[in-house]
Amino acid sequence: MDSIDKLVEIVEPGSQNLIVMTGKGSKLRTAFNPPLEYNLSSVGYEMSLIRLETYFSFPNITENKNNAVNITINDKLYEIRIPTGCYDIESINTVLQKQLFSKGGQKEKTEQYVILSANNNTLKCVLEIKDKKVVVDFGVDNSLRTVLGFEAKKYNNVGSYESENIVNILNVNSILIHCDIIEGSRVNGKIAPVIYSFFPDVSPGEKIVAEPKHLIYIPLTIGIIPSMTSWVTDQTGADIDLRGEELTLTFHVRKKKH
């Protein structure tokens, strides 16, 4: 669990709180001293997320999951391993070309025996092999095929090959923000402390600033709050790897409106 770098509270006693949590990683926890106190029995209190800030840094290719492809050129094997990061098909192809050149598979930077490109109409990947002595093997451990849509097999002979399946370039379909002091939300029918969900409208590497246009307030579960934990997952409940980037969450607590 990551430590909190900063906690800011602006308190209007008995009415509402603005709570800002900042730290590195996808899980933040803080202790309140003194604890926050709300009289839930008389009026009830509820909370909403009003702002999230971080960077679009979560990877779609990782070293232990989906970064590998083997390419044989003139009977010499070249093991291509894409570094952990967030890529589209064009950038995957760029890294592939650089690695083939650096490993000696291509004598010139402009020489390309294997090319990957996107077919935006079919949402599939196109593999182009330009030499009869080239073999592309997606049947390796942690294969790129799961991202690009190809089968776990070898491709050879000169020509273009479209992936058998639609590409899965982004495995995060939705970002869910959880908080352990709320109730009333459900994910796929199961109770879950989700206070907000969204998907960033920026490109990888850019800053994400999410501010809900219509605030949704969720009831608090406890009246005396000594600590609070918030975390960020994908739609499956898996923690999102922010790769050490700063995460800032701003919450608003208020009395229930009747």
pLDDT at 176: 97
Q: Which of 32-36, 162-166, 186-190, 250-254 has the lowest mean pLDDT?
A: 186-190
Residue 104 has pLDDT above 50, yes or no: yes
Region 125-132 average pLDDT: 96
pLDDT of residue 257: 77
For the chain, the structural domain boundaries read 4-58+172-255, 68-162
* Tokens standing for residue 70: 């083997």
Output the average pLDDT for the chain.
91
**Is the confidence at residue 43, as pLDDT, over 90?**
no
Instruction: Identify the pLDDT of residue 85.
Output: 93
* Percent of the chain predicted with pLDDT > 90: 81
Residue pLDDT, tens place only, 193-230: 999 999 999 988 899 999 999 999 999 999 999 999 99
Arithmetic mean of pLDDT, 105-117 = 90
Share of the chain above pLDDT 70, in %: 94
Residue 4 binned pLDDT confidence (cut-offs 50, 70, 90): very low
Average pLDDT over residues 224-252: 95
Question: Residue 40: what pLDDT?
Answer: 85
The topology under which CATH files domain 4-58+172-255 is: Jelly Rolls (2.60.120)
- State residue 16's pLDDT score: 76
The listed range with the strongest mean pLDDT (68-72, 102-106, 191-195, 235-239) is 68-72
